[in-house]
Structure 1
Amino acid sequence: MSDAPEVLFVCVHNAGRSQMAAALLDHHAAGAVRVRSAGSAPADEINPAVCRVMDELGIDLSREVPTKLTTDDVDAADVVITMGCGDACPVFPGKRYLDWELTDPAGQGVDAVRPIRDDIDRRVRSLLAELVPSTSSK
């Protein structure tokens, strides 16, 4: 499906917010959107609390690995959603950029990460309804 829109989620460590957003969008879009995530300074592994709260939804992040953001990632995306990476994210003319202000789950337990996940889920569902209107009935 080459005409599917591509969304890139970017945060600093690619170990929490961007991973949750990518997994949730991929889950809800069911192939209607291409999804990637990356970080400006990737961590060594996904935040364990993030893995646990995503497991609660039946989404397994245990095989995901934080990825370094490249200009090619940004160039390939139709929509770039940043989450606290500031000036570390390259900007290309003509790209759609959204900045989602979200609490960083780094160093927090599952009780603190759950509301962040739920906030991301609401935003992802709204974005999906905008990008692929036929999926909003899910």
Structure 2
Amino acid sequence: MPRRVVLVRHAAPQVDPTRAPADWGLTNDGVVAAAQLRKQLPRQATFAASDERKAISTLRAATDVEFIVDARFGEVRRSVEPISDDFRVVRRAWVRGALDASHKDWETPPEAAARFAAGLDSLAGDVLVVATHGMVLTAWLVQVDLR
């Protein structure tokens, strides 16, 4: 039987330009949205979250079960990403693999996908629920053969 992987992208973060994105919590709306996942997530599963606060907070709001925290499910590793109006442009370019000077010192999409896959491989169970981040989960989905 193939494994079933349920990917949960963290809920809406409280953006704080004075803190690293890994330290951002959730907005009130984000907490409410994450709590709504309680009825949708499988009950019998291995649960894991990135080591970033917003992913941990999302899973805490979505379930009462204990879960594994693993840095391999963290967002793409990169140098400081300035908060600016064009952050989506830079991130979309990364997802497409169109890396340029704005991605200096960033992990590549294949590197991020391999790291994420190693995290999944380390988990036991036929059903996995992983709270993670948009870019790294997209990189993994692009690399994985879903057949």
TM-score range, shorter chain: 0.3 to 0.5
Question: TM-score when scaled to structure 1?
Answer: 0.36
Structure with max Cα Rg: 2
Question: TM-score when scaled to structure 2?
Answer: 0.35
